[in-house]
Structure 1
Amino acid sequence: MKADESIQYLDNKEFLDALFGYAYKRCSSSHEAEDLCSDIIVALLKSIRRQTNINNFYSFAWTIAHRVYADFSEKRKHRNNQIIMAAFTDHQLTNQIDPIDEFIKSDHDANAIHRIKREITFLSKMYRDVMIMYYLDEMKTSDIAKTLGILETTVKQRLFSARNTIRKEVEKMESTNLMLKPIKLIFTGTGSPGGNDPRIKAERIFSQNLVYLCKDTARSPKELSDLLHVPMPFIEEELEIQCRGENGNYGLLKKLDNNKYISNFIIIDAADFNHVHEVYSQYTTELITKVEKYLSKNKSKILDFPFLSDQSDVQFIAWSLISKMIWAFENKIKQVLSEKYYANIEICQREFYTFGFAIKEKDKIELGLYGCDGIGAFHIGGCRRIFAANIYGRRIQRHFNCGHNISQDPLMLMTIGAIGGLDVNTLSEGEKEVAAKAIEVGYLKKEAMKLYPKILVIDAEDEERFNALSADFSNDIDDLVEPMVDAIHGLIQQYVPRHLIHEYHQFVLHTTSELVGDTIEKCIDNGILYAPSSSNCAEGTWMIVQK
């Protein structure tokens, strides 16, 4: 073929993948492999220009590649010597110019070379991703292929190309306690997660351990690389990801002016959390006694509430009140804590807050945490406004989370339509199937041939009265708040890093959440609550409707 025609082979993804694999196998990092690969491309372009005909392009290309690598090795050795010398001088090392960028200036086929350049950069990232997922996250090659959208054979080829080079770096991890027995982070959060949740960027073990190392100590990329025994390119890329988060503004890490990185949220070790729980347990018995007395004293008031769904079981209603009662207690604690100890601290305001629990291999921790997610919609199902909330935790599973679209949830739409009663005979076969599923998950109940909401349904006009059923509990707990505030202040001083003191309220929220679980279990033992027959149930779910 004519020499000019052979440039099309340089734009072939399979050839570039093989070429990058050749370079990656012989280099210590993906960035260095990019340099070698671009050197080979430039040498090929120059050689092609000097030829009239090329009989076998691939034979020609690999001959050039071997020659360039030999030169590259000599230059690398020389460059390393220069760097060593530079450490003892005041001279600045000059920035190296990417040879492809330099060559483009004089090449008439710049578009093709730009595509080649982009492909090399893309391959560099793909090789890094494969390495991290296989060696650090311990993913199977089939799972890596699915995640990256490439063939499993491609994953194996890239692992083979890189294994000899990267294995030495990865095996060093076995000499460190952290990577031999990695930390696992359990994340919780509060606020509006939609588009603001940095937790989704830290699902990998590698990400979690890098973040954990910065939990109360600012560290440089070099320090993190040394501690994790992971090559710098991996560290630098991961730091960028963790600083950006999901929305580009709130990540799990933040970069300081001294080019070090530190945690942007509170992380508490399992052993420390167990200590916090021990401190709280001193007050749990008295708190539960107050909860039981409050529910008993207000039983008639609770049963007389004008629910839009028929409710006659105070134990069932109490499932939606107890968590709100504990949160009312927690709000009272935060109020007194702020007034007594943190009046001069300006609380950080965010759309979403993250909190983390760090679990080591032999740690024993039982997080009896209960959470609550709420969703809303307007002008739907014949209502002007809908708000729905569900409590979830050890005993009951979540029906929906923040961001759930009510208008596209047939079960919820059926529940709204059943307010006041819905005749089964008016339903189509498809609607009957939806109704059956709504009964199964606890949204609906069937009486005779009519469907009614099983969950609590409240008229918006009575919303304040409903909230008062749990909020009024705070009037009965003043004598318990003060001593617990003093105890929590001591825990904050012990476990919240100074740079995160403006998030002390998150420490209170996420550590006292355990009280909800303790209260629920004790109330079940004492007959104040009953244990749901299934975790997929109506208990702890309510809906407020404005007609």
Structure 2
Amino acid sequence: MEEKNKLIDLITQDYISIIFSYALRRTNIREDAEDLAQDILSELISAVANIRNPKAYNGFIWAVANNTYKRWLKKRKKNRAGYLEDYLGLEIFNVEEYERIEDGVIYKEELNRLRWELSLLSKTYRDIVILYYVEEKSCGEIAKELELTVDNVKYFLYKARNIMKDGINMNRELGEKSYKPAEFSISYWGEYSAKYYNLSKRKLPGNILLTAMAKSISISEISIETGVPVAYLEDEVNILEEEGFLKNVKADKYQTSIIIFTKKMNKDVDAVFKEYAKELSPKLYEKLLSKEEEIKKLFSVKNGGSIEKLLWDILPIMLSATIADSLHPAYLPALPLLSNGNHGWLWGSEETNKPWDWSVTIKSITQNAGFGGKYAVLIDFTILNTENQKQIGKEEVKLLSKMFEDGIEISSLDEREKEVAARMIENNYAINVNGVFKFRGSIFNHNQGEEGKEILRDVFTLYDECIKVVNSEILKLILSSLPKHLQEQAADIAYVKTISGMMSAVMEEMVNRGYLHVPASSDMYPIGCYIRI
């Protein structure tokens, strides 16, 4: 008995630090090591009574220590999930069967709550929680796998548990966009690029941008509003940040970095265009009629005497040029460089169909860089359901660059050009007249264009005076609706909106008043397509 008492004294006095070191090497966490060491000491003191040979105490001590560690490890793995359950105030782990149906329902609800809170954690927090509680890895193993310190892993675990607990206690509710996603479309003005329009084909990018527009917001907050787990949002947010649509402003908070027109903003802006177009269109048309004979004389050979076709084809681009001349350089700085290497302006809209943005769109394609030589202008009118920009590309423009007033001999074309010519004839942009390929759109040369501007000088002056007032009103409207961080873009976007909005509003008002007519058949002639030779 005396020898066993001496052994107890030896263990409690000389082996405490040794046993603690043993425990710490196996747990890598001081708190866990203290728990394990306490269990080993308790087991040793209890087992001393059963030792047969007290002199062989060293082997006895380490045998008990190893067996206690194995039991502790098994118990720890079994209870780890249960610890999180107790901490969060849930009852979802280690439940194998339910005596009542409602118990099963409660279990599923609790499990969904936990999964939802877990889905809201950012990647580092989420990974550590899964590795620790689901895959049952130690903090040391997690630290090595994620290239963190053990202390950092412990900190993240502590923070993650508190975040999840707070979320469960507040009973989060999903935002409106989780069940009713907003409409969204992207608009682009600048060097030609179809890249950005793909954003409008998917609901998620636009709704992320709308959610983060008014104030900076975390991915978790975006997740709550959209109902999309953080794990799926992280890639989307990174892509939007790389493309320049989102900006990481502070501590994983993101904010939309392009102007987005809400439905109300669009309605207010469109009302301005409509109001001024109603007043301006009859005055413009009166001045156009006063110049009708001069216009016919200048362009009749090319357009069969049809002043209306000429107006459809050329008036929009001339009005657009008037705005550019009028507002440059005060409102027309150098186009900003975008993420895809092009220069232009980007903005969004909380709608898919924006009356003035899309009722008229214009694209110019040149055979060579710059506009010094031949080029084609393609105008698509929603009211006419035209698709010039879809039907005519660089190959067609290359062929048209060879065009003369009287056409071009088809026999002089190479095989590829003949294929392009056949396609243009099939799509009604050209005709074959006794072996001569003739373009059915408007054709004019540089001198005619310049002379046309002089003839219509009064028209453009009237338009110029109006457009300055409109642009000022549009800018005020935009500024009144924007968060502060986007206001520096307002002047540029107001300029672009004024170009497209006022031009198309005038054209549509002319249709509404009967000054211009929608052709009964597209076979009459291709509207909105001309080349300058």
TM-score band (shorter)?
Answer: 0.5 to 0.7
AA matched with 2:365: I
Per mean C-alpha deviation after superposition, the further-off stretch among 369-378 and 446-455 is: 446-455
Matches within 5 A, 1:451-466: 451-460=437-446, 464-465=450-451
Partner of 1:377: 367
Partner of 1:222: 220
AA matched with 1:400: Q
Change in CA separation of 1:428 and 1:225 when aligned onto 2, cut-off 3 Å: closer
CA contact (8 A) 1:221 1:232 kept: yes
Q: Does 1:269 align with 2:262?
A: yes
Partner of 2:305: 312
2:282 to 271, 281, 289: 289
Per mean C-alpha deviation after superposition, the further-off stretch among 510-519 and 430-439 is: 430-439
Partner of 2:292: 299
Per mean C-alpha deviation after superposition, the further-off stretch among 350-359 and 328-337 is: 328-337
Q: Does 1:179 align with 2:178?
A: yes
AA matched with 2:307: V
AA matched with 1:203: K
1:514 to 485, 501, 519: 501
AA matched with 2:388: H
Tell me the CA shift for residue 257 of structure 1: 3.9
Tell me the CA shift for residue 273 of structure 1: 1.2
Tell me the CA shift for residue 540 of structure 1: 1.4
Matches within 5 A, 1:17-166: 97=142
Rg larger in structure: 2
Deviation track 1:240-263 (CA, whole Å, cap 9, x = no partner) reads 011112xxxxx2222224432222
Which protein has the bigger helix share? Answer: 2
Provide the C-alpha distance between the structure 1 equivalents of 2:263 and 2:145, rounded to a whole number of angstroms: 51
Matches within 5 A, 1:7-26: none
2:470 to 484, 499, 505: 484
2:210 to 209, 212, 230: 212
Matches within 5 A, 1:338-353: 349-350=336-337, 351-353=343-345
AA matched with 1:517: S
Tell me the CA shift for residue 187 of structure 1: 1.9
CA contact (8 A) 1:270 1:365 kept: no
Tell me the CA shift for residue 457 of structure 1: 2.3
3-state SS of the aligned residue for 1:262?
Answer: strand
CA contact (8 A) 1:270 1:364 kept: no
3-state SS of the aligned residue for 1:304?
Answer: helix
Tell me the CA shift for residue 491 of structure 1: 0.7
AA matched with 2:202: R
2:389 to 374, 395, 400: 400
CA contact (8 A) 1:309 1:452 kept: no
TM-score by length of 1: 0.58
AA matched with 2:311: A
Change in CA separation of 1:348 and 1:98 when aligned onto 2, cut-off 3 Å: farther
Provide the C-alpha distance between the structure 1 equivalents of 2:140 and 2:446, rounded to a whole number of angstroms: 66
Provide the C-alpha distance between the structure 1 equivalents of 2:276 and 2:449, rounded to a whole number of angstroms: 31
> Which residues of structure 2 form unaligned runs of 5+?
1-74, 90-124, 129-138, 148-167, 338-342
Tell me the CA shift for residue 443 of structure 1: 2.3
3-state SS of the aligned residue for 2:320?
Answer: helix
Provide the C-alpha distance between the structure 2 equivalents of 1:366 and 1:405, rounded to a whole number of angstroms: 24
Provide the C-alpha distance between the structure 1 equivalents of 2:431 and 2:251, rounded to a whole number of angstroms: 61
CA contact (8 A) 2:375 2:532 kept: yes
1:244 to 226, 242, 249: 242
Provide the C-alpha distance between the structure 2 equivalents of 1:497 and 1:326, rounded to a whole number of angstroms: 32
Tell me the CA shift for residue 470 of structure 1: 6.5
Q: Does 1:357 align with 2:352?
A: no
Provide the C-alpha distance between the structure 1 equivalents of 2:480 and 2:410, rounded to a whole number of angstroms: 60
Partner of 2:316: 323
Change in CA separation of 1:472 and 1:179 when aligned onto 2, cut-off 3 Å: farther
CA contact (8 A) 2:185 2:350 kept: yes
AA matched with 2:424: A
Provide the C-alpha distance between the structure 2 equivalents of 1:378 and 1:510, rounded to a whole number of angstroms: 28
Provide the C-alpha distance between the structure 1 equivalents of 2:419 and 2:468, rounded to a whole number of angstroms: 53
Q: Does 1:532 align with 2:519?
A: yes
> In the comparison of the two structures, how many residue pairs are matched?
383
AA matched with 2:211: L
Q: In percent, how many aligned pairs have the same letter? A: 18
Change in CA separation of 1:489 and 1:297 when aligned onto 2, cut-off 3 Å: same
Partner of 1:543: 531
TM-score by length of 2: 0.59
Provide the C-alpha distance between the structure 2 equivalents of 1:187 and 1:71, rounded to a whole number of angstroms: 53
Provide the C-alpha distance between the structure 2 equivalents of 1:471 and 1:370, rounded to a whole number of angstroms: 23
Partner of 1:386: 374
3-state SS of the aligned residue for 1:292?
Answer: helix
RMSD: 4.6
Tell me the CA shift for residue 372 of structure 1: 0.5
Provide the C-alpha distance between the structure 2 equivalents of 1:229 and 1:101, rounded to a whole number of angstroms: 28
Deviation track 1:52-89 (CA, whole Å, cap 9, x = no partner) reads xxxxxxxxxxxxxxxxxx998865666899999xxxxx
Change in CA separation of 1:192 and 1:71 when aligned onto 2, cut-off 3 Å: farther
Tell me the CA shift for residue 298 of structure 1: 2.6
Provide the C-alpha distance between the structure 2 equivalents of 1:228 and 1:174, rounded to a whole number of angstroms: 11
1:203 to 201, 223, 230: 201
Partner of 1:523: 510
Tell me the CA shift for residue 237 of structure 1: 1.4
CA contact (8 A) 1:308 1:456 kept: no
1:494 to 480, 483, 490: 480
Tell me the CA shift for residue 532 of structure 1: 3.2
Partner of 1:191: 190
Deviation track 1:220-255 (CA, whole Å, cap 9, x = no partner) reads 21221222232222222111011112xxxxx22222
Provide the C-alpha distance between the structure 2 equivalents of 1:241 and 1:532, rounded to a whole number of angstroms: 44
Provide the C-alpha distance between the structure 2 equivalents of 1:101 and 1:367, rounded to a whole number of angstroms: 49
CA contact (8 A) 1:189 1:352 kept: yes
Provide the C-alpha distance between the structure 2 equivalents of 1:268 and 1:95, rounded to a whole number of angstroms: 50
AA matched with 2:510: C
CA contact (8 A) 2:402 2:408 kept: no
